[in-house]
């Protein structure tokens, strides 16, 4: 399993916990605000959970940007140090 695939599974799982949606229904192209109806507090919680799980510093502003997708969360996580 590639790192990106592992990160996608992690992000889907965390979004599932936050939004109470089944992880298998959370797709890479879905937008956090528009499609998953996440609000700014949930985006903050997502960034914090990613940081806790990975030990990486996540730029919350990138996740909170208009049109941000699940795939962007994966890219931001993989690029973080």
Q: What is the pLDDT along the chain (81 residues), one digit of tens a residue?
A: 688 899 999 999 999 999 999 999 999 999 999 999 999 999 999 999 999 999 999 999 999 999 999 999 999 999 998
Q: Which pLDDT value is given to residue 50?
A: 98
**Are the beta carbons of 31 and 69 closer than 8 angstroms?**
yes
Q: How far is Cα 36 from Cα 46, in angstroms, rounded to an integer?
A: 13
Coil, strand or helix at 69: strand
Distance between CA atoms of 38 and 79, rounded to whole angstroms?
23
Residues near 45 by beta carbon (within 8 Å), at least 6 away in sequence: 18
* Entry field: residues in the chain: 81
The tokens describing 22, both together, are 């089944």
pTM, to two decimals: 0.94
């Amino acid at each position: 399993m590639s790192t990106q695939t592992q990160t996608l599974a992690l992000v889907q799982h965390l979004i599932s916990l936050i939004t109470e949606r089944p992880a298998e229904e959370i797709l890479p192209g879905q937008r956090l605000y528009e499609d998953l109806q996440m609000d700014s507090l949930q985006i903050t919680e997502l960034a914090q959970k990613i940081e806790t799980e990975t030990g990486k510093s996540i730029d919350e502003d990138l996740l909170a940007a208009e049109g941000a997708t699940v795939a962007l969360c994966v890219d931001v996580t993989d690029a973080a140090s």
